[in-house]
């Protein structure tokens, strides 16, 4: 009987982990409730402002033909994708982000991934038409060398609802290049980490000393 109880408990835990990656930060929302909210928000999401789109036409482009901005420019047109922690390439990290803390998804703050040489760790931003504050606390090899931001979602279904969207982003506060360099310098066996660190040092040569510690 005891082994049967343990078996049921194990199944329940696995179910939670693989449907919502632990539902970090989500206050007792069912999968269907989350999907409903996401569907409504995605359906009503406005596109970037026309003046911003027009101004972006003269800017240099990344490999996705998206504009590259200076750090002085906080309003920007950004290509976004979505990811979840139950994807094959994220399973080994579970519900942890690249800083070692929990991925966030609640009604105030949500996690995002980016190239840290474009958006250093800790960068916070808002998406036009969305009520949340997003924090860059993760990265991904596919994002390296681009201005694409990957938005964290708690399940694959919700991830697929977002898909790929071009949105207007407003940077609320820039993160830390120093912290980014410190973390990346410890992960130089990965080519995307080497590339991000190299690009950070190109922009901030003084951080080369941080990378050598």
Instruction: Examine the pLDDT at 174 and tell me if it is beyond 70.
Output: yes
**Closest-CA residue to 85 (of 156, 16, 135, 149):** 156
Mind giving me the DSSP string for 139-201? --GGGTTS--EEEE-SSHHHHHHH-SEEEEEEEEE---HHHHHHHHHTTTTSHHHHHHHHHHH
pLDDT at 71: 96
Per-residue confidence at 207, pLDDT binned at 50, 70, 90?
very high
Taking the C-alpha atoms of residue 136 and residue 145, their distance in angstroms, rounded to an integer, is 16
pTM metric for this prediction: 0.84
Domains in the chain and their CATH numbers?
A: 9-175 (2.40.40.10)
Q: How do residues 122-157 score in pLDDT, each as one tens digit? A: 999 999 999 999 999 999 999 999 999 999 999 999
Please calculate the CA angle 153-157-159 and round it to the nearest 5 degrees: 35
């Amino acid at each position: 009987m005891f082994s049967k109880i343990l078996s049921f408990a194990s199944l329940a835990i696995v179910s939670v982990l693989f449907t919502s990656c632990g539902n970090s930060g989500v206050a007792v929302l069912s999968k269907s409730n989350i999907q409903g909210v996401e569907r409504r928000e995605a359906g009503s999401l406005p596109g970037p402002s026309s003046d911003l789109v027009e101004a972006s036409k003269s800017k240099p482009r990344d490999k996705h033909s998206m504009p590259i901005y200076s750090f002085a420019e906080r309003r920007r047109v950004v290509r976004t994708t979505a990811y979840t922690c139950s994807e094959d390439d994220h399973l080994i990290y579970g519900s942890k982000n690249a800083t070692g803390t929990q991925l966030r998804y609640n009604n105030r703050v949500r996690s995002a991934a980016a190239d840290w040489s474009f958006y250093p760790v800790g960068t916070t931003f808002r998406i036009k038409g969305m009520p949340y504050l997003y924090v860059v606390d993760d990265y991904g090899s596919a994002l390296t060398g681009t201005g694409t931001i990957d938005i964290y979602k708690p399940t694959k279904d919700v991830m697929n609802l977002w898909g790929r969207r071009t949105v207007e982003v407003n940077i609320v506060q820039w993160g830390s290049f120093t912290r980014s360099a410190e973390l990346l310098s410890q992960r130089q066996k990965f080519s995307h980490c080497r590339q991000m660190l190299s690009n950070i040092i190109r922009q901030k040569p003084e951080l080369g000393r941080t990378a050598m510690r």
